[in-house]
Chains A and B, each alone.
Chain A
């Protein structure tokens, strides 16, 4: 790999052994993928997927201690994924004990490390860092050093920024060095679609189900999706971006998609259309039956699959302000229709701290609270990362949460029905 004289000096130890190891790591990472040079990180902020101080991940925090101990901080400020703990989310005494004493025993240590390394603020913990209220909104063409699969796929696809599917730790090393190896989704060639997806469904497909189907089929390749314009239109409205946020998260977690193009909607597809499709691209047609096949393929791993739901999470990835408002109004209508005042299943809507603050400015927040809905900036995935949750019948409309935990996936309409006291 070609290195500038500055990069070579760093590798040779001009800023110490730890910095040299960081640069060596980035070089090896790039060389594995045929990168010929490093390119500057041009996005204003970074984003790290690591937001949790898990006792068992002590080696990760020891590595950060090495970095901080060497007097190194991130060259750019950054946001981080959501915190794993929030007292407002329903949990038992045993769960609290397990969460705080056992699982997340390194949380304070790690948050102090993030402050030393350059986190943007105490309210900068969310997976949806690109929402307006949070303010980590890259421009088209920006080169990023981010990790968090749902944020990376959103930044690449909806914002037109350029970022590889970096891993935790590597993303912070890119932010520290200020440069990343140029390969994959940072290149024009790597952004070409190798799959053509034709959506022929009779009604608007559930975002998280469609994303799941595509992710499972194309894995890490780039899909070009046709047929969504009937429902999403040709502009990136609040509704369209919320749909794409959830769709992308499912493609990235059920597969390994880092970039998708939506015909006539996402920036590069609008500019270049089907010229983005690589020669020899494969085709996948998705109709109602295919979506149903995919939905039925999900295993239910509750201890008793016929249990009544005990908890519901909506918002993985975190909800936007418009989604919070829509969900609140939908639940209100559902409860009214059944003559109920409060949700039938303890329900948590998760959103960034800054979005919840905005929501508090209107009457939606109090309406949601009156219906028994908990609003939280927690990471539901980290909340559920323990065996106790396997004993709990948790439902969710998130295909990402389903993939990583024992939560059972239900469509948004079914979630609404269940929490409003309909189907049990």
Chain B
């Protein structure tokens, strides 16, 4: 069991199965097909992301360095929150980027969805966590892996 401390961007707690992207997470490319066609499991549609492509994302603890790509990213994340298709939480090894922050904040201010977001967990976090592991997020930004 390993413990990591990050910064709370959106408060909340959860325990969920980890889904790990070692490369930048392209929000639009990952979500667009799944949201468009009502895929309740929200399978990742980004063919460039070999870690996640075709894997279900809904309800997972999404562990990633940062998000990349289109500036619709925040809007897409907001829509996922409003539809209840968001990840259980988003855990960033790096400082959060502006698009992911936008989506997380829009989700927090304008919807009832719960999606705790913690950033700055460090590179070691992504080295330690693997898809399928159990991840627990505390109110104080402490993330427990395993």
Contacts and interface: CB of A to CB of B under 8 A. Distances in A.
Contacts of B33: 385, 387
Contact of B98 (A148, A165, A386): A165
B14 interface: no
A166 B48 contact: no
A339 interface: no
B62 to A, nearest CB: 17
A140 interface: no
A201 interface: no
A24 B105 CA distance: 10
B93 to A, nearest CB: 12
Interface stretch (A27-35, A71-79, A324-332): A27-35
Nearest to B99: A167
A33 B111 contact: no
A54 B78 CA distance: 14
A57 B97 CA distance: 22
A404 B71 contact: no
The 10 closest A-B pairs by CB, nearest first: A167-B74, A59-B82, A167-B102, A168-B75, A147-B71, A256-B68, A170-B102, A28-B105, A32-B101, A149-B71
Contacts of B73: 167
Interface in B94-146: 96-99, 101-103, 105-106, 108-111
A152 B36 contact: no
Contacts of A63: 78, 82, 110
B66 A219 contact: yes
B50 to A, nearest CB: 9
Nearest to A55: B36
A168 B83 CA distance: 17
B3 interface: no
24 contacts: A25-B105, A25-B106, A29-B98, A32-B101, A33-B98, A49-B70, A56-B36, A56-B37, A62-B82, A63-B82, A148-B71, A167-B71, A167-B74, A167-B98, A167-B102, A171-B71, A219-B24, A219-B66, A253-B69, A256-B66, A385-B32, A387-B33, A404-B70, A406-B47
B38 A56 contact: yes
A215 B106 CA distance: 27
Contacts of A152: 71
A254 B37 CA distance: 25
Contacts, number: 130
B16 interface: no
Most buried by B among A60, A168, A255, A404: A168
Interface in A3-21: 21
A215 B24 CA distance: 11
Judged by DSSP, the binding face of B is helix
Contacts of B66: 219-220, 256
B35 A404 contact: no
Nearest to A147: B71
Given A62-B82, A149-B70, A220-B68, 11 more contacts: A24-B109, A29-B101, A29-B102, A60-B75, A149-B71, A167-B98, A220-B97, A252-B69, A253-B69, A256-B66, A385-B36
B29 interface: yes
B140 to A, nearest CB: 17
A164 interface: yes
Contacts of A54: 36
Contacts of A253: 69-70
B67 A29 contact: no
A236 interface: no
Q: What range describes how many residues of B lie at the interface?
A: 35 or more
Interface in B53-101: 66-75, 78-79, 82-83, 96-99, 101
Nearest to A300: B47
Interface of B: 9, 24, 26, 28-29, 32-33, 35-38, 47-48, 66-75, 78-79, 82-83, 96-99, 101-103, 105-106, 108-111
B78 A149 contact: no
A249 to B, nearest CB: 10
Contacts of A60: 75, 78-79, 82
Interface in A157-176: 164-171
Interface in A364-395: 385-387
Contacts of B72: 49-50, 147, 167-168
Contacts of B74: 166-170
A29 B28 CA distance: 20
B67 A299 contact: no
Interface string A392-405: 00000000000110
A141 interface: no
Nearest to A52: B72
Contacts of A219: 24, 66, 68
Contacts of A29: 98, 101-102, 105
Contacts of A385: 32-33, 36
Contacts of B103: 167
Given A49-B70, A49-B71, A299-B47, A56 B111 contact: no
A59 B29 contact: no
Contacts of A80: none
Contacts of B102: 29, 166-167, 169-170
